[in-house]
Structure 1
Amino acid sequence: MGARVTRMFRNFNLENRAHKEISRQKPVPAPRHTVRDPPPAGAGSSGDADALNQKNESLLGLLRSVYVDSTDPAAAEVSNKVMEDETRRPLKFHVPSNTPGLAEVTDVPKGKLSIAEALKALNSHQREPLTWTPEKIAQDYSLDLKDTKAFLEYFILFRVYVQPTKTENTKQIKAS
């Protein structure tokens, strides 16, 4: 019933409204951009091409007089750092793996650790902190002392926490 009433109001005086819309004056479109005709193929274009292809001796002379010598200070620092990193040390500890496609690491740059060495050093320090001091670890693995102290402080091995089992003495909240 509602659709009929809606349709009735929508179609009321439809024809008069359509004639009114059609008779309304349309907006004037903007003028089109005028297109110039391209220049003829033989006129003037060959002269311009010849001028571009000719050598200008005065400009060549000025170009020959310019000499630029530049050096990048950052490149010199990088090359020095690369030479320092080239000193490598053999691995102290490695984990044997039979994974195909992985290259066996035999040496690392000084100041760096492999994952296996890092885990071994952390484990040794946790088990015997008096013998495996940060100074000894830094000396054994050719590390900076400041980095070694930060490594031992912030790099944490996995810790397993076993929750104690329930006993008779354990207090529990009773459901009501």
Structure 2
Amino acid sequence: MGARVARMFRNFNLENRVYREISKEKPQAAPRHEVSVPPSAGSSGAAETVESANKKNDPLLTLLKSVYVESTDPAAAEASKEEMAGKESERRPLKFSLPGHPYGLVELTDVPKGKLTITEALKALSSHQRQPQTMTPEKIAQDYSLDLKDAKSLLEFFVPFKVEIIPPKTENAQQIKAS
């Protein structure tokens, strides 16, 4: 309702206001500043600049020839050598793998120490669930070359087999019945 009233006041006598605005004289643009550059002065300065750029400066050239820079990063070179030597010693053979290509991945033969494949993690979890007294976090850490805190975290947070059925809060609540 308010929009209609506002539109009425906005459009009231619109045509007359438009003609009045159009008939006003437009402001004149400011005149451009005249620039007078003598043609001889501009071209001679440019010619001198080109000449000085193309001219050889013998003292600077000899100094430039005497500079030789060789850059190597000793920390990166040592780290790459250590990585190459450490890669072979820090890998372990797989403990368990599925036949064929599980999950569409190429079959692995070894993994880095401190890491697990999905199949190894599932095997470790199922063996811990079946025999918690014998497959302790310490035994899993030793078998799979893991840190003890990583093995404990694996058993605590990676729980794919646990199903919890939450009972209703009230006795009157309706439950879905299996047919």
Q: So what's the TM-score if we normalise by structure 1? A: 0.63
Match of 1:80 among 62, 79, 82: 82
List gaps (5 residues or longer) in structure 2.
Answer: 175-179
Match of 1:57 among 56, 62, 66: 62
Task: Spell out the pairing of 1:1-176 with structure 2 (5 A cutoff).
Answer: 9-12=13-16, 15-19=19-23, 21-22=24-25, 24-28=26-30, 31=33, 39=43, 43-44=47-48, 45-51=50-56, 56-61=61-66, 63-64=67-68, 71=73, 73=75, 76-77=78-79, 80=82, 83-87=85-89, 88-98=91-101, 102-161=105-164, 171-172=171-172
Q: Percent identity?
A: 38
Q: Secondary structure at the match of 1:108?
A: strand
- Report the AA paired with residue 97 of structure 2: H
Alpha-carbon distance change, 60 to 74 in structure 1, aligned in 2, over 3 angstroms = closer
Alpha-carbon distance change, 33 to 97 in structure 1, aligned in 2, over 3 angstroms = farther
Structure with more helix by fraction: 2
Is contact 1:134-1:149 (8 Å) kept?
A: yes
Is contact 1:86-1:109 (8 Å) kept?
A: no
Q: What displacement does 1:39 show? A: 4.2
Q: Secondary structure at the match of 1:56?
A: helix
What is the CA–CA distance in structure 2 between the aligned matches of 1:93 and 1:139, rounded to whole Å?
15
Q: What displacement does 1:6 show? A: 8.1
Q: What displacement does 1:34 show? A: 8.6
List gaps (5 residues or longer) in structure 1.
Answer: 165-169
Q: What displacement does 1:140 show? A: 1.1
What is the CA–CA distance in structure 1 between the aligned matches of 2:37 and 2:99, rounded to whole Å?
77
Alpha-carbon distance change, 101 to 55 in structure 1, aligned in 2, over 3 angstroms = farther
Is contact 2:93-2:110 (8 Å) kept?
A: yes
Alpha-carbon distance change, 147 to 102 in structure 1, aligned in 2, over 3 angstroms = closer
Q: What displacement does 1:100 show? A: 9.6
- Report the AA paired with residue 121 of structure 1: A
